[in-house]
Amino acid sequence: MSSPTRTCVASPPATTAPDRPNYAALFVLATCSFIYVTAEMLPVGLLPQISADLNVTEAQVGLLLTSYAAVAAVTTIPMTALTMRFTRNRLLAGTLAVFVVAQLVAALAPSLTVLSITRIFSAAAHGVFWAIVAPIAARLAPPGQTGKATSIVFTGSAVAMVLGAPIGTVIGQASSWRVAVVTVGVVGALSLLCILLIVPKLPVLPRDAAKTTVGQLAAAGRQIRSRATLPGCLITLTAVIGQFAAYTYVAPLVRRDAGLDGRALAVLLLAFGVAGVVGNVLAGRFIDRRPDLVMMAIFGTMSVSMAVLVGTPGAVVTVIAVVFWGLSSSPMSMSLQAAVIRRAPRTQDAAASVQVVAFQIGIGGGALIGERLYGHGFLVLLPVFGAVMTALALLLAFRAKETFPRHPVPHVDATH
């Protein structure tokens, strides 16, 4: 059997860009992003059911997002380095296989501790997936359409808000949260089959295969200090902390503001997700032309939407604010990662892994801050904190417009 290094050096697809986007493979990647986001966010809509079944508080269940994000943040860079020599399609399949097994075991969890342990494995696979998916999407599209390809993949995460989280919430309320988790695992198994059948062989690029694991870790370390990656990661961290401090506890927040609970909450999450799909489509149309303006529009709308939720604005205003929140927050992840890999086109996997770590630290940190505030009776401060942090991200993005270039910028790959 040929070694991974010899195989990737001999394979033309490793360096040859396609003439047009491979839409079938991009769609499969979008379904995978749908699955991962659905599983990660599932506790948000099922806080009451999980807390009642496992005899813990809703605030404690909210920490499932914190622990998930913490594991992903800690494991993404080393796991990405350790798996660098695997062909990209096989690595995708491997991450999803781990995910599926973890979901099926989670459905049997007798306690919050066991449930948290199963999510550790999901989180480790999650980190690797998000570190490699944007660079893979870029390889499945011709030059000049990488932003469009990335937006297709990340639309899956927006659809997760439309179908995954709301349907998971409905299933959990109609039966139990365990049935919802099993359903996610089954859909994940179907996505795994699609990867094996549809995603083409994607050997490791020769420049990456030539590096040792230590070399990959060193590359990631350089990216952390690089002016190509650092500004985007700081902006990512700031915005995501604000987003997830508030969004993790959106269920009690809208219950307080609008009296929405149960199926009404599921419908509102559905509206949040529908708006997110629209946001992804809109951002995908302009991200290759004016990424800086797209990013600032995203942060500005997020900040205003959360600011509106301060106090008790009533049902109508709450629904409108949540819809605009979904419209703007959904394309945030796609836009930030597209910017990072444009700034580091020769070290995309390393740059993407560092950005994923920043994103996961933001999720975990935001959820933790939200838990502290909510757990101590300061629910009203969650949208205040979220609005301030996203406004700060807007300011940082305005002052560092070069972080969002229209084309790859190879001369900033090195550490400066």
Total domains in the chain come to 1
Residue-level pLDDT at 157: 80
Instruction: Classify residue 12: in a domain, yes or no.
Output: no
What does the pLDDT read at residue 217?
56
Structure tokens at 362: 């933001």
pLDDT attached to residue 299: 94
In a domain, 102, yes or no: yes
State the pLDDT at residue 328.
92
pTM of the predicted model as reported, rounded to 2 decimal places: 0.69
Of residues 161, 134, 124, 400, the one with CA closest to residue 274? 161
pLDDT of residue 363: 82
Does 5 map to a domain? no
pLDDT at 8: 35
Q: What is the pLDDT along the chain (416 residues), one digit of tens a residue?
A: 333 333 333 333 434 567 788 899 999 999 999 999 888 888 877 888 898 899 888 878 877 877 887 788 788 888 877 887 788 888 999 999 999 999 999 999 999 989 989 988 998 898 889 888 888 888 888 877 777 788 888 888 878 867 777 788 888 888 889 999 999 999 999 999 999 999 898 887 655 554 555 555 555 556 555 665 778 888 999 999 999 899 888 878 887 766 777 777 778 877 887 888 888 888 888 877 788 888 899 999 999 999 998 877 778 888 899 999 999 998 888 788 777 777 666 666 667 777 778 887 888 789 889 888 888 888 889 999 999 999 999 998 888 777 776 655 554 444 44
- Residue 67 is part of which domain span? 17-412
Structure tokens at 289: 């032309």
In a domain? residue 4: no
Q: Does residue 107 lie within any of the structural domains?
A: yes
Residue 142's pLDDT is what? Answer: 83
* pLDDT (0 to 100) of residue 240: 94
CATH number of the structural domain spanning residue 266: 1.20.1250.20
Q: Within 13 A of 281's CA, how many CA atoms are on the CB side?
A: 7
Instruction: Kindly state whether residue 9 falls inside one of the protein's structural domains.
Output: no
- Cα atoms in the Cβ-side hemisphere of radius 13 Å centred on 111: 3
> 3 in a domain, yes or no?
no
DSSP string, 251-317: HHHHHHHH---HHHHHHHHHHHHHHHHHHHHHHHHHTTT-HHHHHHHHHHHHHHHHHHTSS---HHH
Kindly state the tokens that stand for 168.
């998971």
11 occurs within a structural domain:
no
